[in-house]
Structure 1
Amino acid sequence: MDYSTCMLCNPYEKPAQHVIFENKTCVYIQKESEQIVLEGSGLIIPKAHKQDVFSLSEQEWKDSRDLLLKAKKHLEEKHFPDGYSVGWNTGEAGGQSIPHAHLHVIPRFKDEPYAGRGIRYWIKQFENKREVLK
Structure 2
Amino acid sequence: MLYDQNCIFCNPDKDENQNIVFENDTCYFLQHNHQQDVLEGCGVIVPKQHRQHTFELTKEEWNDTYYLLQKAKDYLNKEYTPDGYTLGWNVGEASNQSILHSHFHVIPRYNDEPLAGKGLRHWLKQPANKRKKSTKQL
Deviation (angstroms), 1:7: 1.2
Residue in 1 aligned with 2:9? 8
Cα distance in 1 for partners of 2:7, 2:95 equals 19
CA deviations over 1:51-70 (Å, ceiling 9, x no partner): 11100000000000000000
Residue in 1 aligned with 2:31? 30
Structure 2: which 5+ residue stretches go unaligned? none
Residue in 1 aligned with 2:131? 130
Cα distance in 1 for partners of 2:29, 2:13 equals 11
Deviation >4 Å, runs of 4+? none
Residue in 2 aligned with 1:118? 119
Specify the SS of the correspondent of 1:3.
coil
TM-score, length of structure 2 as denominator length: 0.94
Residue in 1 aligned with 2:48? 47
TM-score, length of structure 1 as denominator length: 0.97
Cα distance in 1 for partners of 2:65, 2:134 equals 39
**Percent of residue pairs bearing the same amino acid type:** 50
Residue in 2 aligned with 1:57? 58
Cα distance in 1 for partners of 2:113, 2:85 equals 12
Deviation (angstroms), 1:133: 3.3
